[in-house]
Structure formats: structure tokens, C-alpha cells
Structure 1
Amino acid sequence: MSKAVHVPFSEPPWLMGLPSAYYNDSHRKWQKTCRSLVDQLLMPQGGEWERAGDVPEDLFSKFASANFLIPNLSAPLPITWLKKLGIHSLPGGLAVEDFDYLHTLIYVDEVARTGSLGPVGAVTVGYAFGLPPILKFGSQDLQERFVPDVITGKKRICIAITEPGAGSDVSNIETTARRSPDGRFWVVNGSKKWITNGLWSHYASMAVRTGGPGPGGLSMLVVPLLDTPGVSMRRIKVGGQTAAGTTFIELDEVKVPIENLIGEEGQGMRYVMQNFNHERLTISISVNRLARVAISSAFEYCLKREAFGKKLMDQPVVRHRLAKCGAELESHWAWTEQFTYCMTKMSEEEANKELGGLTALAKAQAGKVLEVCAATAVLLFGGNGYTKSGQGEIAERIYREVPGARIPGGSEDVMLDLAIRQLVKNFQRKTKELETEMERPKGSSKL
């Protein structure tokens, strides 16, 4: 980091010069690399792109050519595939086998520094959440057909779960996929809504109903989108993340090769839920950075702005508001850091079992933290915070991002309920295991 004095709350504690038990030299070097690339690719025009509601066509290819899309995948990275494709390191020389979840945290935190999830979301969201189901659950044949072009950025992919009538309630998905009479195709009918990056995607990892009602009837397919007969897509205008390419997809008798099934038929619900864990953790990280940008911008403004004959920072009520926001922000960051550290020490199976519910809770809390920080920033900027240009523009923009933090990836109330249900389930499971262990005869049975 440079020797500049940072505005309070503008950086996580470990980047403000405070000691941390989590980060090693590899993480510190990676943070510098990410910051340099973000300063080059996103920061100069990110705000302008969000105002315009779109990003340049070549932004995705710039990320891809720098191998700067790959850090969106969950750790550990798909090392075998990367090396097979000649990719042995990430920017800055980080070996792909050395990449862990703290590197993920650093990457996600850095790319959110623009103060909007729109520009970065335009290039990362589909890759981050659409490719992993193929890597984790797809057959070798399926991976051979799709992974090389997608992982290198030659083709684009998105994740398509949500529908007009089924969002967080995944088990009620209505888009159907039935076998064609000759058995060669899945014939897909239905619609998907609020699909980030859909407009530009060649493929979607899509949840479809191949069986009866409920979660057991769900499967996942790789569905072709661009230039595919029966597929129509249009952009949805949303309040925040306007540059991310939110899309409505209609599917009318779309023929999908039968071999495009991801994993096993009827296992779609399990695949979707496991995929959500990575998504929710990265949402928690990026939303915390949005809150950080909002409250630190307001903090800096209060150090300069005068009212009633003195600086805003000299008003006790202003300091009180900043203090409450800072406490919420840093508490959530510490919790998210601790989760991420756990991910570096646990297997994916263990993490899904132990941390899935808590990750949902952290995601829900991120939205609450952003809401209070963004609202406070708008109030402290005053009229400037209600204006889409000028020095308070950042607060106005981030405030519009709040619903996009609290709803996608699992809406807030559903996340709160899910967290407790899983904690209860784990408690009951562990209690039963302990009781079984205590009932087991001890010692030798020999006389």
C-alpha cells in the first residue's frame, strides 16, 4: 500500500496497517496486484459506465486476457483444467495451486471499490456462478465440450435459476425440460427473469423441471442462448447495478442436446443450493465494500463541509451516526473474514455442512449493513446525497444498490430462516451422534 493516510473506514483494518492473523505475503502481494488491475480496468470510468447503464464490449475480453476472470471461481481452483489449458498462474505470478479463499476475498473486495456492483458484475457474475456447476457436477464429456472456451473467456455463460414466479423459492421452478420423442434432446419451455449477464451469454447453467413437483423434480442443463432458435432475451431496467445486463429470457420449444444434463437427473436442487454458498459469501464481501465506500465518503465529506458555523464533524450527532455505522461495518467484515478463513481450512463438504446457514446469515446481514451505511451517507451529504452528479453522487448511487444486496442470491427473510433451520439441523445431528457414541459399549467384551 502507499504511504497515504487513509480516511477512517475507507479500507479493511488489515489494509489500514493493523496486524492480522489471516493474511500472508502471498495475500499481500495479490492485493497489490488486484488493486493495480482494478485501478486500470474499472476505477477510471466505472461510475460513468454505471450512469450510462452499460460497459464497453471489450471489458470482458480485457479481464479474460489478463486471467482476471479466473479468481471468480471458488477455491481451490480447477487446477487440472487450468494447467491443461496452459494457465499456470494468475496476475502477479500467483500459482493457481496456491490460490485460496482469502485470495477470493481480496479479489472480490477490490473489484467492488468502484462503489457499484454494475460494471464489475457485467463481466464477472455469469462466470462466477454459471461455470462452477459444470466444473463440480458435470461429466467429463460435458466439461470437455464447454469448460475450455468458457474458462478462457472465449464464450460467456450465466446462471439461470430465478423465474417470474420462483426466486428464493427454488423448488417451485416451472420451466420444463421434456425428452423429445427420439430421445436426442431436452425440449425446454418457460422463462427466466433477473438473469445477470444473460444478454451476452452463449450458454446458461439452467435449473429446469424434468420430473414432478417439488425439489426432487429439478435438474440442471447447459442451455444454449445466443443465436439459438426459440430463445428470446431482453434487457430489464433495474434501480441499481444498471450496467450488469439484467435479462429476461423466454424459452419456446428450445432443443438442448440430451448430453447437456449437468450431473444426475433430479439432483438440480442440491446443485443449486451448493452453488448458492459461494455466491452468498462473495455477495457478503462485495456488499461490505459498498458500505465501506459509502460511509468513508461521507466521513471525508464531514471533515470538510461546514454548517452552522463549524465543520459537520464537530457536530456530536454526526459523529454518533458515523460511529454506529462504523461499528456495524467492521463487525460484519470481521465475521466475513473469519468465515473466509474457515474456508481455507475446511473441505468443501465440511464447509457446506457447517457454514451454509451461517453464510446465508452473513449475506443477509450484509444487506442490513449496507442499508444503514448508505442511508446515513445520503443524510450526511444532504442535498448532494440526493443528486445523481457531483460530490454526493456516490452516496445516491450506492443507496440504489441496497435492494440488489438484500434480494438476489436469496432474499433477506429467506436467508434468516434458512440460517436458523440449518443450525437446528446441525445441532440435532450432532446431538444424535453424541448420544449414539455414548451408548456404544466401552472396553473389551472378553471375560
Structure 2
Amino acid sequence: MPSNSTRIEADLRQNSKSASQFTRAEVAKHNTEESSWIIINGYVYDITDFAELHPGGEQIIRQYAGTDASETFYDLHRHSVLEKYHPRLCIGKLSDDRQVEITAAEDGSISTVPYAEPAFWRDGWTSPYYTESHKEYRATLRQWLRDNIRSECTELAKSGEYPSIELNKKIGRTGLYAARLGPGPHMKGRNILGIPGEKFDVFHELITHEEWARICGDCAVQDGLGTGLVIGLPPVLLFGKDKIKRKVVKECLDGDKRICLAISEPFAGSDVANIKATATKTEDGKHYIVSGLKKWITNGTFCDYFVTAVRTGGPGIGGISLLLIERSEGLETKHIPTSYGSSAGTAYVVMENVKVPVENLLGSENGGFQCIMANFNHERWLIIALVSSSCRAVTEECFKWAMQRKVFGKPLINQPVVRQKLAAMIGQVEALHCWLESLTHQLHTMPHEQQFFQLGGPIALLKMFATRVSYRVSDDAVQIFGGRGITRTGMGSFIEQFQRSIKYGAILGGSEEVMGDLGVRLASRGFPQDSKL
């Protein structure tokens, strides 16, 4: 796994001109408009012609001609900017200086920044949950994501376009959509980046979700890559008829088709029992005719299949069914502009007399509420994993920035108030992840039928805690980065993207308030009658 410095050294070896060595005194002579050289991290760059094209203005870069501009460069730019211009501008390196190995945030390696990784990935730390298989899987997956899809995802974040079907297929054929569903029959015969499907456990799945949150820092792009599948395909796997499963599961896991979960309506969000979309059987009993509206459907704009909650019976939860509806005549989707971006394909879905075969019923008629509830624990746990990983990545960004940014003549980290903010962020992120690992262990060991009753409350409470943590982490991060933390490009872009999207975790999969209430209500049901103050 080559580091940034290793790649730069390789560039030097390939370019004889760049293999030259200079002393600082030689570089100092090149301080005019006719010949402008600068030093960054031990490498010498000829910016004579580039200065006129410099995005930040000619004079601001020209004033450093003949000097070492490393400190100023890292005050203004990410290391990835240096990598971008290195092949074109580097003419050699210092003969009297040793280069510092720089590991950029965009590098695919495991970070050595304090608290940037979960405990097991730190030197000398152990864990009762993970094995060497998990350690190798995280490193391999992170590198694969970096090498194969990150650049395209970064472009999607800028353009706001939907992920292409080619990108979808690349992910699916690597097995990563199957990985995001976790262990189960669908993993049989698969190999996920070196891990046999039969040995792929829920901690491998946790790592998959955590790394997903690091792809490019843009939540809309991350959601555009299979979030609809992660919450929409499990009901087909669990409750679909064999013929439907054989067709739809393979198509979606391979990336050929896309699927989403269509529950929320303009009339009902967390109040699932109040949905109004209807499904009425035809006289011959072979089809349902579906009419109604769905709103805020992730991936709905570009999906082929919609796992849809409909009313087939009377009011309340006892009249709800779940249908797999294929995009067809009468079903129309419209994009909903949202604050975190367009690439997630958030949709308003209009269904007018859509004809659906009765074989597409998932579970039993009027038994759809149970199917929906069976899916919620996994969906909420997934959201927690994404939020937790994002909070950790934000904390890493802040730690790096505090170490390299200088204010009032000294590093930002020297300010006690900044250290206090970092301490609060680290404490909350570590506590969140420890609770997440504990619940993941229960998912790993507890029988599935028992999980529904025993883990629903704790997962709901943890989801509320996770999103509360994300607010505090985001607030402190923006304060540490200042104006950069509310700017979509540059050093604080990751922070800006995070603070723009944190409310999604607090709403999707059940609102914070509903989660807190649910967790306490379920706990109170099991309260021991003989326990008094």
C-alpha cells in the first residue's frame, strides 16, 4: 500500500529532470518573476509560469519564491493539492534535508492520528470483538474504495448527479452490496475482498458501513450508493416468495437493478400506522391496484423496485401490507431537493392505478407492519454505524487542523479552549463506538428471533445518542475550523458537508424523539415490580 511520499519518490525516479538535488542556498537565488522556486516538504517546485495561473492569485504565491513555503502551504491546502501539481511542477528535492512522510486524509492507509481509528486498529491495543480477519478486511476495503470509486464519488459530490449504473455494478460485482446486508444465506458462495461469504460476520458488516461513511465525506453520494438496497432488499430476502427472491435479489446485489424502501408519505413519517396508500385486489384476484403517494424515498428517483407499504385492510397497523412494486405504468418519481445534495436521489413517488401481481406480496396480507418492524433494528443500527464513523473522521480532521494551523504565532493546539473541544469530541466518539460495539456483539451472538424483542429499545436509545453526539461534534468542529467549516471547498469541506447533513440521522429510520420514547417505553415494560426506592 504505497504512501503519498512513496508515490512522489516514484515520480521523481521516472523524471530525470525531477531527480535533481538542490541546496537551500541554490533555491534562494530563484526569487524573481523570471525564475520562481519554492520548497514544500523538502521538494523543490518551479512555479515561474504557474504563478500566473495560481487560483489564489499570483502575488500570494510569488512572495514565497526562493523560500520554504511548507508551513504556509499546509495552512491553506490539503496534501492532495500538492499531489495534484507535483508531476507538473516538481524539479527535484533538497540535498540537505530529509522529507517528512506525509499521510493525507485521502490516502487509503490506516490512520495513526490519535483516536482516528477504533481501538483495535491502534498499535498494541486488543479487542474481544475483532480478529486479524477484521483488521485485514478494513485495510483492504479502505484501499479498494480509494482506488476504485473515490475519485468518481468526489466528482458526484461536486456535480450532484446520480451514481451511474456502471458504478453501481462495480460495487455490486465486488460483493459490497451483499456485504452491507451482513451475514446470511445471500452470502453463500461469495468472496468479499478475500473474506469467504460463509465467514463474513456482523463485525465485518460494521466495518463495511464505517468505511462507507469515509468514501468521500458527502452523505448524499454515500446514500446514493445502495442505501435504498440496504433497507429495501431485506424484506424481499426475509418475506418474498422464492421466485421473486431468485430474480430480484441477484439483480440488486450484482448492481444491475436498484431498489428502495417506500414507507413514508406526506401524511405519515414515523407514524407508520397512519399510511394512506391503498392496494385493492382485482376481481380475478391476480393483481393489486395501487394508488397513493410516498415522500422522502432515498434512491427512489432512479430505482427499479419499490418495497412499498400499502393499506389493504382497515385502519391502523392491522390493515397494512408490504408489496414489491416494479417501476411501471402509473408509477412516477420526482426529485426532492434536499440540504445534503442530489446524488441520493430522494424522491416523491406518485402511484396511480399501478398494477402489481399478487405474487409480489411480501409476507401475509395485512401483515406488513410486522415485516416493516423486523427491518427497523438493522436500519437503525446501520445509521448509528455511519454517524459514529463520520464523527470519528470529523474528529481526526480537527486534530490534524489544530496541529498544523498557526494562529497568534503558535499552533492552534496550544489554545486551551481548542484542546477542551477536542477532549469533548474524543470522549463522545469513544463512548458512542463502545456502545455500538457492545450492541453489535449482541447482534452477533443473540438468536435473531430474540433480537427483535430485546434489542429494539437499546438500538433506539443508541440512535438517539448517536445523533445527539453528532450535533456536538459538528458544532465544535465548525468552531475549530472557523470560516473554513462553513465553506464547501478547501480545508474545511469535510466539516461543512458533515454539518449540513447531521439532521438526516436524527430523522431517517425514526426521529430522535420517537427513538428516545420507544427505548424508555420498552424498558419500562420490563421494569421489576418489586423494585422500589
TM-score by length of 1: 0.90
SS in 2 for 1:244: coil
1:379-398 matches, within 5 Å, as 379-398=479-498
Residue equivalent to 1:100: 201
Residue equivalent to 1:62: 170
- Residue type of the alignment partner of 1:274: A
Establish whether residue 309 from structure 1 lines up as the match of residue 409 from structure 2.
yes
Residue equivalent to 2:212: 111
Contact 1:161 1:192 in 2 (8 A): yes
SS in 2 for 1:255: strand
Between structure 1 and structure 2, the one with the greater Rg is 2
Per-residue deviation, residues 61-96 of structure 1 (Å, max 9, x unmatched) = 110121221111143x224xx54xxxx132323121
- Residue type of the alignment partner of 2:472: V
SS in 2 for 1:181: coil
Establish whether residue 10 from structure 1 lines up as the match of residue 116 from structure 2.
yes
Establish whether residue 20 from structure 1 lines up as the match of residue 127 from structure 2.
yes
Residue equivalent to 1:348: 448
Structure 1 CA distance for aligned equivalents of residues 148 and 262 of structure 2:
27
Per-residue deviation, residues 336-362 of structure 1 (Å, max 9, x unmatched) = 011111111111111111111111111
Q: CA deviation at 1:134?
A: 1.1
Q: 1:334 to 1:4 in 2, by over 3 A?
A: closer
Structure 1 CA distance for aligned equivalents of residues 458 and 110 of structure 2:
36
Residue equivalent to 2:158: 51
Residue equivalent to 2:332: 232
Per-residue deviation, residues 359-397 of structure 1 (Å, max 9, x unmatched) = 111111111111111111111111111111111111111
Establish whether residue 269 from structure 1 lines up as the match of residue 383 from structure 2.
no
Residue equivalent to 2:517: 417
1:152-231 matches, within 5 Å, as 152-225=254-327, 228-231=328-331
Q: CA deviation at 1:55?
A: 4.3
Q: CA deviation at 1:280?
A: 0.5
Structure 2 CA distance for aligned equivalents of residues 326 and 222 of structure 1:
43
Contact 2:233 2:260 in 1 (8 A): yes
Structure 2 CA distance for aligned equivalents of residues 135 and 5 of structure 1:
37
Contact 1:295 1:376 in 2 (8 A): no
Structure 1 CA distance for aligned equivalents of residues 494 and 368 of structure 2:
39
Structure 1 CA distance for aligned equivalents of residues 163 and 520 of structure 2:
43
Q: Identity of paired residues, percent?
A: 37
- Residue type of the alignment partner of 1:99: F
Residue equivalent to 1:358: 458
Contact 2:220 2:344 in 1 (8 A): yes
Establish whether residue 337 from structure 1 lines up as the match of residue 437 from structure 2.
yes
Residue equivalent to 1:444: none
Q: CA deviation at 1:299?
A: 1.5
Contact 1:42 1:120 in 2 (8 A): no
Contact 1:34 1:107 in 2 (8 A): yes
Residue equivalent to 2:7: none
Structure 2 CA distance for aligned equivalents of residues 185 and 246 of structure 1:
28
Runs of 4+ in 1 over 4 A off after TM superposition: 1-5
Q: CA deviation at 1:142?
A: 3.2
Q: 1:422 to 1:41 in 2, by over 3 A?
A: farther
Establish whether residue 291 from structure 1 lines up as the match of residue 391 from structure 2.
yes
SS in 2 for 1:389: coil
Contact 1:133 1:271 in 2 (8 A): yes
Comparing 241-250 with 412-421, greater Cα deviation is found at 241-250
Contact 1:160 1:205 in 2 (8 A): yes
Contact 1:115 1:294 in 2 (8 A): no
Contact 2:116 2:392 in 1 (8 A): yes
Q: 1:55 to 1:145 in 2, by over 3 A?
A: closer
Contact 1:74 1:278 in 2 (8 A): no
Q: CA deviation at 1:16?
A: 2.2
- Residue type of the alignment partner of 1:315: Q
Structure 1 CA distance for aligned equivalents of residues 484 and 255 of structure 2:
40
SS in 2 for 1:165: coil
Q: CA deviation at 1:32?
A: 2.1
SS in 1 for 2:348: strand
- Residue type of the alignment partner of 2:457: G
Contact 2:260 2:300 in 1 (8 A): yes
Q: 1:254 to 1:5 in 2, by over 3 A?
A: closer
Establish whether residue 32 from structure 1 lines up as the match of residue 134 from structure 2.
no
Q: 1:56 to 1:263 in 2, by over 3 A?
A: closer
Residue equivalent to 2:181: 73
Contact 1:158 1:197 in 2 (8 A): yes
Per-residue deviation, residues 171-207 of structure 1 (Å, max 9, x unmatched) = 1111111112222211111111111111221111111
Residue ranges of structure 1 left out of the alignment (5+ in a row): 433-447
Residue ranges of structure 2 left out of the alignment (5+ in a row): 4-108
Higher relative contact order (CA 8 A, sep 6+): 1
Instruction: Indicate the RMSD between aligned Cα atoms, in angstroms.
Output: 1.9
Per-residue deviation, residues 382-413 of structure 1 (Å, max 9, x unmatched) = 11111111111111111001111111111100
SS in 2 for 1:208: strand
- Residue type of the alignment partner of 1:390: G
SS in 2 for 1:159: strand
Residue equivalent to 1:252: 352
Q: CA deviation at 1:241?
A: 4.8
Per-residue deviation, residues 86-135 of structure 1 (Å, max 9, x unmatched) = xx132323121111110110110011113232222212112111111011
